[in-house]
A and B are shown apart, each in its own frame.
Chain A
């Protein structure tokens, strides 16, 4: 059994990443405008990206930075679909916020 220890040279980046992620998550939960909610999702994903780059640099491994490209693509795709949904809803009812979208409840 080998004892492995990964020394991180850049805890500050990780703290920044965690803060961004937490900001995004909080924003998603408390903001009511769907567009702002999408921005919060972006914030969460980009917070994770910082982690990927920081870990990649620490581990001297290019995989972390490559992952960022995949995440960027996914984030772009998510926004496209999300905006399409908002447009579809706004066509029927303008100025909808997340509170107005409440036909479904139990």
Chain B
């Protein structure tokens, strides 16, 4: 019964330059692991000298890879640029600045290399966006197994930025906890590459493989802290529930395949547009299973049970990565599969997402109030944010997708900033994560307290922050889609969770710190990450136009080359 393979199958078109953002992350991870396994222990002097060199190389790598990604004629930009003395001088100055800055941040070699890979991927994403997507529109990669559309490019950019910021947070964290080494960075890069593939997958099997690449690396990252039992427990719990949810996702893929006859999203979308299934039981079951599997990944209630435990137990910078990049990739997959592929069956899945969104909003915001641990509380608050993003997904419209994207971008920086502050405050062994440890933070570290205040206000959705614009956009999309009750539920739960953020802010400013509280040391790299997150949060709040334009341009499409 096995169909004969056609021997004249055309060689798939790879489109290397469009693939560069993803390739940089994956190949970067491989090179990093190779480099570190060849030289386990760098001599101190060599390590000190390597960091500024890496800083300089970063600038060149961003320029070259970004140029490759952006133009169809490789190295054309390189040649022209070098001929121009002003440009050449500018580049030299930038290289020098990059080297000095890396030195100033006192980065370790591994962190510096990770930041370099992340920034290079970001530059490549920028190149593909400006020189290809904005001119020619979306295009297929690797024989249409992947698609580079605006949506996947923005999510890739989000993941690359998350990698850069989390690497800055991790640098000092790993040093403090005696876990210095490249393993965490390599896992993070692999996970990021998986997430980027997931956001651009045009095939359900590719999506499944990417999801596993993303998740398996994160299971290990959560369990990496060998001296904290909580960390290993978090890893095991995340693993068991993650594997459980992957199995559901896979069953959903199998059933969809059985109903439609292909796992390719383009074929599925075409088939569903042109045919009406007589017996759609298989497809309905498949869609339900897919929703369960992806619901686990994005921590939508009632599939959220793992989130608080894992967020509390895992190393804090890893939590920042899980809440930003992993969640963004999960929502990217959700949008790609449901909003774009099952667009003609929106009537069937919208009620389910509607129910999930309301439940997630309510569980997230109400459970957050009763928590005593800051990480646990932020875990529930991240569940309620997932609810808001689901409100945008439920709209199943272009407005909805733009608002989902806007929310994902804004939330990434918010959450990395929040967990970044928490990681610094909690001190060695992540011991001080209880809410009491935040009492009187304003007298101990006024700048940190101010930063956390801004992040929490943004999470609450106070105007002039990116959180407000994001919440406004998803609720607007829900109203547009006539889901009035959902919009009302979102507004009410936003008020409920605002109470909780204000409680923390009050305790930071009015609470009394214990006299024997340890001094808080703010490392330069982590400080930079928090400042960047802060600037972006306030910046997108004051001038949301730019990001709004980008997210409106970034509608996912399923496109087959030729």
Contacts and interface: CB of A to CB of B under 8 A. Distances in A.
- Is A bound to B? yes
A21 B251 contact: yes
Contacts of A16: none
Contacts of A70: 205, 208-209
A62 B2 CA distance: 6
A102 B230 CA distance: 9
Given A48-B254, A62-B2, A101-B237, A67 B263 contact: yes
B329 to A, nearest CB: 17
Interface of A is mostly: helix
A63 B262 contact: yes
Interface string B256-285: 011101110000000100111111000000
A106 B236 contact: no
Contacts of A58: 258
Nearest to A60: B3
Nearest to B310: A104
Interface of B is mostly: helix
A19 interface: no
Contacts, number: 151
A71 interface: yes
Interface string A50-76: 011011011111111101001100100
B234 A6 contact: no
A63 B376 contact: no
Contacts of B239: 78, 81-82, 85
B247 A41 contact: yes
Contacts of B259: 6
A30 interface: no
A106 B244 contact: no
B250 interface: yes
Interface stretch (B216-224, B457-465, B523-531, B554-562): B216-224
A104 B275 contact: no
A82 B239 CA distance: 7
* Most chain B beta carbons < 10 A, residue from A2, A21, A41, A103: A103
Contacts of B226: 88
B243 interface: yes
Contact of B274 (A2, A77, A84): A2
Given A25-B244, A28-B244, A85-B239, A48 B233 contact: no
Interface residues of A, number: 56
Nearest to B282: A6
Nearest to B256: A55
B263 A101 contact: no
A88 B231 CA distance: 11
Given A4-B277, A70-B209, A85-B239, A41 B244 contact: yes
B220 A81 contact: yes
Contacts of A101: 233, 236-237
Contacts of B205: 67, 70
B48 interface: no
Contacts of A98: 240
Interface string B1-15: 111010000000000
A82 B230 CA distance: 16
16 contacts: A2-B274, A5-B279, A25-B247, A28-B240, A28-B244, A34-B236, A51-B251, A57-B1, A57-B2, A60-B3, A62-B3, A74-B212, A77-B212, A81-B219, A89-B236, A104-B230
